């Protein structure tokens, strides 16, 4: 029995192309955001050392870097798979983790701003 998927229709091909474009955007952006988080952690540690004030922001940025890494890897693997079902599943993971990581990064920024301005 042949397990291949039926030939995709025009609308189906456009949806696959859209998902691939989304993954192609998330992959480099999320990987760059890992670097932003790591830079933020380094700068925060320098500031904490100089001011002797502790925050949970560096912990949040560490978790955030992991979330961006998950978004990067899932979008990368979504570009590498052949089946559309896996593509959509990995693309949803990339979207969800990217949005969650951006929200967490925003929260960390508020904590850093509040803690350093007290």
pLDDT tier, 4 (very low <50, low <70, confident <90, very high otherwise): low
pLDDT for 99: 92
Answering whether pTM is above 0.85, one says: no
Which structural domain, as residue segments, surrounds residue 74?
20-116
The answer to whether residue 14 sits within a structural domain is: no
The answer to whether residue 89 sits within a structural domain is: yes
Read off the pLDDT of residues 23-80 as tens digits, 9 standing for 90 and up. 677 777 877 887 787 777 777 767 766 666 667 888 888 899 899 999 989 988 888 8
pLDDT for 51: 67
The answer to whether 30 touches 71, Cβ cutoff 8 Å, is yes
pLDDT for 20: 63
pLDDT for 97: 94
- Per-residue burial over 83-115, b = 16 or more CB atoms within 10 Å of its CB, e = otherwise: ebeebeebbebbbebbebbbebbeebeebbeeb
- Tokens 């192309």 belong to which residue? 17
pLDDT for 59: 84
The 3-state DSSP class for residue 83 equals: coil
Number of domains making up the chain:
1
């Amino acid at each position: 029995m042949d397990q291949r998927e039926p030939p995709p229709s025009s609308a189906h091909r456009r949806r696959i192309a859209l998902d691939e474009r989304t993954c192609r955007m998330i992959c480099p952006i999320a990987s760059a955001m890992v670097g932003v988080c790591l830079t933020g952690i380094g700068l925060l540690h320098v500031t904490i050392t100089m001011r002797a004030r502790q925050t949970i922001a560096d912990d949040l940025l560490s978790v955030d870097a992991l979330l961006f890494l998950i978004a990067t890897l899932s979008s990368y693997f979504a570009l590498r798979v052949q089946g559309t079902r896996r593509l959509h599943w990995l693309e949803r993971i990339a979207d969800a983790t990217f949005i969650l990581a951006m929200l967490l990064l925003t929260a960390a920024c508020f904590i850093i701003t509040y803690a350093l301005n007290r």
